[in-house]
Structure 1
């Protein structure tokens, strides 16, 4: 099997990581493209003594670390998400956010993450704690949950409240989701794809976004259906079944890059 064939199954998830790291589909894909170009240009430099997925992320990390996020200041154009993130990034070391995303969202072990960012497992644990504390401090908001499975909805609600956010409501259908959003505007939406009456969480989100901008995290058992590269894709995507730490990381990142966050009361 060629190197390209070995890497292909992992590309959608590397793109997910790139988008979560940068807060932008276009920017994240730019880094992924640069990593692939580096592999094609010098395949002999691709790590041979590790799993192909680990080697792929290692190549991506090399590209990312060579372009520090502070370079955003020099760009002539940047998205609203990037603009609001600059102030926050000034208070959070980029490596802390990488450690958080690699462990909580991408599912790498502490040891693998240490390899990817050139540090020790003990330092990875410290960095993850640091990132969560700082991001949570900066991003308190109100959250709408769109989920038709009661147990999953309760679990998500607990996670959201544990992070210090308020829950505006839990919707089980498209119409209910839109009504709740209009009644009490959320600063974040967590949306399942398939809802109780066979309506679509994607359609519910589209309806809400026609009224106002809000960051969205989609939840699905089939992330590859949304990570096609052929249409606008969600920046934040959680795979079912999910880990609590994954949901926490996605919420923190979505609010971290958002410029329209509605503060929670109190």
Structure 2
């Protein structure tokens, strides 16, 4: 099984996750093209990466020369025709049709053997593959937030995915000093499937008046969890977390035990998505 040599990685979407993936790839020595249609988002991405790298310099993890070397490896662009590489990682909005449309546009400007990877946290890889020209080139490559810190990366193999691509991405993830875990396409993959009760049971306890969200976080953190469910939802984004819960619930036939929480839905309806809006279950400066 031939391992594909990857030199240039295109990261589509310059939000928090896309920025983190771009930083990880550049730090590992890859040339990176960071794409977003929104110039303001691209600027924010550059500033976010610079800030993260500055912290690494301050902590002695990298030198000032390495800081500049890593930053120089990232090209920021709003021109889709510049998005050419051996690997494309899509990290845009969690909507199947939007992802399919983007991949089909990228196929037009890339070779037929370019690896197409989606960072989706819950949308079926098989469903995305069904809408693109080269389904055998599509794979899930799910980083976790914040990408520069979180070690686990899920590699999701669809029914049509070329096995050689999976092997290539295992090598790539390891080169990034991350831990690759391979799984078949299924609702929520591994982590988000297992994590649903962590969030949903906690919200049910709050909804039924049995506890307060701050107390629930304190208890679970005292039990050994690094972050309580409510702090973690604020970090991920309540809108994203709710979307994942809804997709998993619907794909599994809407079991009552996995029904998305009205507590979370109410927050979203009020525009309170967590850290990115400065207010979720907690408030942020």
State the TM-score bracket (shorter-chain normalisation): 0.3 to 0.5
TM-score, with length taken from structure 2:
0.32
Higher strand fraction (1 or 2): 2
Larger RCO: 1 or 2 (CA < 8 Å, sep 6+)? 1
